[in-house]
Amino acid sequence: MIRYIIFVSLLTLFQLTGFSNSISKSETRTPPFAMCDCTVSQGGIIYDFPFFSTSESASEFYAYGAPIGASSNTGLETSNGMIMLLHEDLLTNETSLVIVLDAPSDGSGGDVEITFNCLPLTAFVDVADDPGEFTGNAPNIVGDFFWASCCTDGGVIGGIGCGNTFTINPDIGSGIDEFTLVSGTPEFPEYINLAEIVEGLYAVKSRLSLTLILKMRPVLKV
């Protein structure tokens, strides 16, 4: 089995732009939106890792079961790949962790157990790719995933928020041979394969320890 340890740290930095000390009641403001500066590091190696941003909720982005049944429909699905991203809803600034395992109808299934430790107490299972695969409650949730060749697996943990640090421990049994972080947007996704972060470690299936630092900057427009 392949075991990884991923440390995720979420920090908040507030910034106001275009703010006036005297704002009349008749003035209207657009809803705040978030920009983020995220990094993922292993040892002294640091990569940028921004949010994956959409104008919809994480569950809507995951699109479980439609149009492909019993599967995610994000458009990022990768055969024998594990995708992880920090989803940012631009309309609400909600932050969620999204995990996508494999691609539908690729000829093979798999099994993976992922342990999420030290989650904020606000965290919750927003989407379970199959009923009963997630057990526990924040701060500790376990995903026990098993899927057939027809489908994908994974899910969404919402309520991640900012100013929190938690760990993700994937234990890969079968069906996954690539682990990728995704940022950007659906139109312009950016991929970081973990083999590129730590050359050689992934190939020999050693334990991989990453640190993710997320800074969310809500910006108020007048």
Please state the rounded mean pLDDT for residues 100-110: 96
Peptide bond into 67 cis (omega under 30): yes
Q: How far apart are the first and last CA of the chain?
A: 53
Residue 115 above 90 pLDDT?
A: no
Distances (CA, A) of 150 to 18, 24, 90, 104, 153: 51, 58, 32, 5, 10
Q: What is the mean pLDDT of the segment spanning 197-211? A: 43
90-99, 188-197, 200-209 — which is least confidently predicted? 200-209
Is residue 194 very low, low, confident or very high in pLDDT (cuts 50, 70, 90)?
confident
pTM given for the model = 0.79
In the three-class reduction of DSSP (H, G, I as helix; E, B as strand; rest coil), residue 60 is classed as helix
Domain coordinates of the chain in residue numbers? 2-220
What phi and psi values does residue 58 have, to the nearest 5 degrees? -65, -35
Of 59-63, 176-180, 192-196, 207-211, the one with minimum mean pLDDT is 207-211
User: How big is the CA angle at 12 (ends 6 and 13), to the nearest 5 degrees?
Assistant: 135
Distance CA 129, CA 138 (A): 18
- The Cα-based distances of 205 to 42, 75, 114, 115, 195 in angstroms read 16, 27, 16, 18, 10
**Residue carrying the six token digits 């930095």:** 13
Q: Are 101 and 152 in contact (CB under 8 A)?
A: yes
